[in-house]
A and B are shown apart, each in its own frame.
Chain A
């Protein structure tokens, strides 16, 4: 997509007041859905998203169960009031595609062989969307999975980077997504250093691509710190660090 108007001013300030290498504010609250096995509410800029996990639990219908590992089911869904223009309650093709890439971003981190013949259900509910909702959803879902006590090889942290006004910027907001030059969401397992989600919308030359990927991963690592502190906060309260 070719950009039509300038989204970064002469001082290097973006449409929402940030500079090019600055992430939006991120807040995560763990255990917000009482009935769920694990859950998290994430506020990522203006995104407001709840992820909840039920699992391992029984598979219905039974014939969908796998004999040697757990089935993972993932649904990304937006409430009708979550977007600028009201979204119809019926599932859209965009939600279907995003549900799939999110599942494929989280599955590599899960040790599914530990739960044969069961299901792990991940539900991501967008209450308010503002660009980067799939990354925020993945980030919250990983926290919810840890909260649920599912065996994981690593956390999964997600962040997007992109090109705006021919500059590589981190964490694209809604306006930049709609009007900017490129948008690259990335999900990353921080300790194993593996990429589990990678998409691109726009045009990047070789240098731009490398820079964009590095920025996105830098964002993922920052997000990981917030995932960690929110989990520590819930489980260990003020007692942090080593205990002898």
Chain B
């Protein structure tokens, strides 16, 4: 059973004192662990961290992102993934190793303004992110309504093991594709369902840090009482303790947002 204590902090505030391990969005200064962001602290015997409530998207390898095709050179498409770096999708990823600019028409496959869901295959400190759409469920998104939310709220929107987003999808008969970069596409045959789903998403975005959010969303969507799970009494924000490639990436122990898959226990 983990013991977690939460506090609201701004940069420079003390998160915890003592021998705790600094995890993400914190650093050690003498005997104190200090926050580098506005957010909610979480400290337990495993360490201390801050879950940030603001920040633009900073890429990470293996993130699923939704991007917009801007242009293409003879070898790759350049893609806006709503971050400070331009992403690239190599032509070979789409056409295969035998790709030839003379024969394969890049513009026909993906043209300026198209939306794709992709995975960041490669990203490190020295170059722009390289994307791939090879995996299942990746590729061009032909229809749907596109909205943007703060990337820091994406974990809450997905929920524990996908529970929040699945609740919204089932109740509104929509399919919702979420990028870690805060871009979301909602598609569905029923226009009202799509609108309702979008309202629910915006509420989650604004109230991500509050308690009983799941219950309120279910009320909004008219989900029957019997389906309300025990996670309703959970604290507001599910967080994973295992941090991914982030640590090797940063020279300090600070990082962007936590990962999505949540721990089960409290």
Chain A residues close to B by CB (< 8 Å): 37-38, 55-58, 67-68, 109, 111, 113-119, 146-155, 189-192, 227-228, 231-232, 235-236, 239-244
Contact A155–B252 (Cβ < 8 Å): no
Beta-carbon nearest neighbor of B211 in chain A: A243
A115 and B84 contact, Cβ closer than 8 Å, known pairs A149-B55, A151-B254, A191-B34? yes
A152 in complex: contacting residue of B11, B29, B58, CB < 8 Å? B11
Contact B85–A118 (Cβ < 8 Å): yes
A39 vs chain B, min Cβ distance (A): 11
A149 in complex: contacting residue of B5, B56, B250, CB < 8 Å? B56
Determine which residue in B29, B36, B84 has the highest number of CB atoms from chain A within 10 A of its CB, and name it: B84
B25 at the interface (CB under 8 A from A): yes
Interface on chain B toward A: helix, strand, loop, or mixed SS? loop
Contact A55–B56 (Cβ < 8 Å): yes
Q: A149 CA to B37 CA in the complex, in Å? A: 6
A191 in complex: contacting residue of B14, B55, B56, CB < 8 Å? B14
Count how many chain B residues have C-beta atoms less than 8 Å from C-beta atoms of the other chain.
Answer: 37
Chain B residues close to A by CB (< 8 Å): 5-8, 10-14, 25, 27, 29, 34, 36-38, 40, 52-56, 58, 84-86, 125-126, 152, 209-211, 235, 250-252, 254
Contact B84–A56 (Cβ < 8 Å): yes
B124 vs chain A, min Cβ distance (A): 9
Contact A147–B38 (Cβ < 8 Å): yes
A190 in complex: contacting residue of B12, B85, B126, CB < 8 Å? B12
Contact A189–B12 (Cβ < 8 Å): yes
Contact A239–B210 (Cβ < 8 Å): yes
Q: A149 CA to B6 CA in the complex, in Å? A: 19
Q: Which residues of B contact A190 (CB under 8 A)?
A: 12
A116 and B125 contact, Cβ closer than 8 Å, known pairs A146-B10, A153-B12? yes
Contact B10–A231 (Cβ < 8 Å): yes
